[in-house]
Amino acid sequence: MDDLDQQALTEHLRDLRRCLLISLAAVAVCFALSYSFIEEIGVWFFKPLFSVLPDKSSLIFTSYQEAFFFI
């Protein structure tokens, strides 16, 4: 623990940069992975809503871009 207290500012910044790059890479990988399963996620997300909708009804989107997320 004493080693962390004795680091110079540049070493702390180097550690911070490394952690931020790893975090950014993890977010990018998880985004790409989840985007590849967007159809299945959308079906899972809307399943409770579709189960309570009356027969022969559909979803109404209030803005143009909302419908494109689940096409």
Which tens digit of pLDDT belongs to each residue from 11-55? 889 999 999 999 999 999 999 999 899 888 888 888 888 888 888
The band of 70, judged by pLDDT with boundaries at 50, 70 and 90, is: low
- Residue 5 confidence (pLDDT): 67
User: Could you tell me the pTM of the whole model?
Assistant: 0.59
Instruction: Report which listed range, 7-11, 12-16, 67-71, is most confident.
Output: 12-16
Q: How far is CA 50 from CA 22, 39, 43, 47, 55, in A?
A: 39, 15, 9, 5, 9
- Alpha-helix runs per DSSP H in 1-71: 2-5, 9-36, 38-52
